[in-house]
Amino acid sequence: MIRFSANLGFLFSDRPLPEAIRAAKTAGFHAVECHWPYDTPSSEVRQALAETGLEMLGLNTRRGDVARGDNGLSAIPGRQSEARAAIDEAIDYAVDIGARGIHVMAGFDQSIAGGHCFIDNLDYACSRGAGHGLTMLIEPLNEHDAPGYYLRTTQQAADIIDDVGADNLKLMFDCYHVGRTEGDVITRLRNLLPIIGHIQFASVPDRGAPDHGEIDYQTVFSEIEALEWTKPLGAEYRPTGKTEDTLGWLT
- The verdict on whether 225 is a catalytic residue reads no
Q: Residue 205, preceding bond cis, omega within 30 degrees?
A: yes
Q: Please pick, among 33, 44, 55, 139, the residue that the annotation labels catalytic.
A: 139
10 Å Cβ neighbour count for 16? Answer: 14
- The verdict on whether 236 is a catalytic residue reads yes
Which residues are part of the catalytic machinery? 139, 236
